[in-house]
Amino acid sequence: MAIKYTFMGHATHLLDIDGTKIVIDPFFTSNPLTNVAADSVEADFILVSHGHFDHVEDVVAIAKRTGAKVISNLEITNWLQKQGVKNVHGQQHGGGFQHEFGYLKLTIAHHGSGLPDGSYGGNPAGLLITTAGKKLYFACDTALFLEMQLYGEEGIDLFVVPIGDNFTMGPDDALKAVRLVNPKLVVPCHYNTWPPIAQDGDAFAARVNEDDTEAWCQALKPGESLEL
């Protein structure tokens, strides 16, 4: 079993798990950090953490073109059905489900979740994925919170954490999050997309790597991948 993780810039991520393609928070069309066109993206599953524009922009188009199953909170999957997306699976944070690609639990996230048209988007979530003998925790858009320590107790192989500040944790709180989660590998996201969230990813990685935890951090450029 092999997992390939690709950072697409901002908070959009791809997973290839033994050929099963998963897209997390598809934001391609207006994403200044990627030239990848939404209509070229392959997907078997699409995971949506919350309703904000920079996480749902391309979900309807990719879902309709590929037939991928979209997994999100129930308010967002209901909204997607009204947009004509038929293949959906609703969960809520705290709840997990064994999907074909692995076990997905929606975690707490402290953030908003309003949809672009003003519809109520329920509660925002993080994504905790258990697959191929590994655990991947995407904190998604969130503030720092102490329960991250409980997710860390599961033994996290990859922790994807926002560092942009302003809308989410900044680097100082993200470093505290790494200490709480104590993962093997850390990748920062949700930064450098626009001026209010400008951050130095390599400087954050250096802070993590000099810190007194086992975690190794690598700031990926958009389009770069890691094999887990």
Q: Catalog residues that contact Ni ion under the rule CB under 5 A.
A: 52, 141
Report the residue number, 141 or 173, with the smaller CB distance to Ni ion: 141
- Residue 57 as a binder of Mn ion (CB under 5 A): the answer is no
CB of 26 to Ni ion, least distance (A): 14
**Cα–Cα distance, 113 to 124 (Å, whole number):** 5
Q: Contact 87/75 with Cβ under 8 angstroms?
A: no
Residue nearest to Ni ion (CB): 52
Write down the residue that tokens 């997710």 correspond to.
Answer: 151
Report the residue number, 44 or 57, with the smaller CB distance to Mn ion: 57
125, β-bridge pairs: 108
CB of 140 to Ni ion, least distance (A): 8
Give which of Ni ion, Mn ion, none residue 134 binds (C-beta under 5 to 8 Å, depending on kind).
none
CB of 212 to Mn ion, least distance (A): 30
The residue within the footprint of Mn ion, chosen from 9, 46, 51, 54 (CB under 5 A), is: 54
- Residue 141 as a binder of Mn ion (CB under 5 A): the answer is yes
**Cα–Cα distance, 122 to 113 (Å, whole number):** 6
Token duo for residue 149: 């320590």
CB of 79 to Mn ion, least distance (A): 17
Report the residue number, 44 or 54, with the smaller CB distance to Mn ion: 54
Report the residue number, 11 or 36, with the smaller CB distance to Mn ion: 11
- Residue 165 as a binder of Mn ion (CB under 5 A): the answer is no
Q: Contact 189/10 with Cβ under 8 angstroms?
A: yes
**Cα–Cα distance, 58 to 23 (Å, whole number):** 11
Report the residue number, 58 or 141, with the smaller CB distance to Mn ion: 141
Report the residue number, 75 or 141, with the smaller CB distance to Ni ion: 141
**Cα–Cα distance, 139 to 174 (Å, whole number):** 10
Half-sphere exposure of 110 (CA within 13 A, CB side): 8
Residue type, 71: I
Token duo for residue 71: 């997994």
Give which of Ni ion, Mn ion, none residue 10 binds (C-beta under 5 to 8 Å, depending on kind).
none
CB of 12 to Ni ion, least distance (A): 12
- Strands 216-217, 225-227: pairing is unpaired
Q: Which residues bind Mn ion (CB under 5 A)?
A: 54, 141
